[in-house]
Amino acid sequence: MVIDYNTCIGCGACVAACSEENSLEMNATIPLGARTNIKNIEVGAFPSTRWIFVHNICRHCENAPCVSVCPTGASYKTREGVVLVDHSKCIGCKYCIVACPFNARYVNEELKGPDKCTLCYHRITQGLEPACVAACPTKSRIFGDLDDPNSEVAKLVASGAIPAGGEYGTKPKVFVIPPTRG
């Protein structure tokens, strides 16, 4: 996934769509902002001030620390690189929550365990975009196959989108187009 900070207006449609879609998918309440959320960071002194709407979401890291610390294999990675949680194997130790440098996991009381973004696995496996991507009025979240050099996301990465939180060395699969202006 690529998130374009140039066009995001911080409206929250992605956050709403995520909670709505996945609550239905899970037959449980996914609280607003639990799997993905937006923060408004103000930068620069007047009159050069700007807000950056910073998105948080699971990076589906290539070297996912949440998966490697999981003692039971409940946190796992699909063959395609999506990080998921198998609740039937989870013992609730919360190592994964602590291990994630991005705060992308939380405890869902109804599911009695850690919960996180699934990249709308139920949708992408049917050829649909994740709910947050489909809901964005400004098309600021773009989803696709990073391994396909012809995909929009791959082209965006090739043209300068940067890994979201790449400094932790986990090889995030969510990229950000930093805001440019002037």
Residue 6 or 68 with smaller CB distance to another protein: 6
Of the candidates 43, 65, 37, 60, the residue with the CA atom closest to the CA atom of residue 119: 60
Q: Considering the complex, what minimum distance in angstroms separates the CB of residue 105 from another protein?
A: 13
Residue 65 or 144 with smaller CB distance to another protein: 144
Q: Considering the complex, what minimum distance in angstroms separates the CB of residue 63 from another protein?
A: 13
Of the candidates 182, 167, 178, the residue with the CA atom closest to the CA atom of residue 53: 178
Of the candidates 96, 92, 104, 87, the residue with the CA atom closest to the CA atom of residue 28: 87
CA angle 58, 59, 61 (to 5 degrees): 125
Residue 33 or 166 with smaller CB distance to another protein: 33
Residue 27 or 167 with smaller CB distance to another protein: 27
Of the candidates 59, 99, 106, the residue with the CA atom closest to the CA atom of residue 83: 59
**CA 157 to CA 1: how far, in whole Å?**
10
Residue 135 or 164 with smaller CB distance to another protein: 135
Q: Considering the complex, what minimum distance in angstroms separates the CB of residue 98 from another protein?
A: 20
Q: Considering the complex, what minimum distance in angstroms separates the CB of residue 104 from another protein?
A: 15
Q: Considering the complex, what minimum distance in angstroms separates the CB of residue 79 from another protein?
A: 4
**CA 42 to CA 108: how far, in whole Å?**
31
**CA 148 to CA 156: how far, in whole Å?**
12
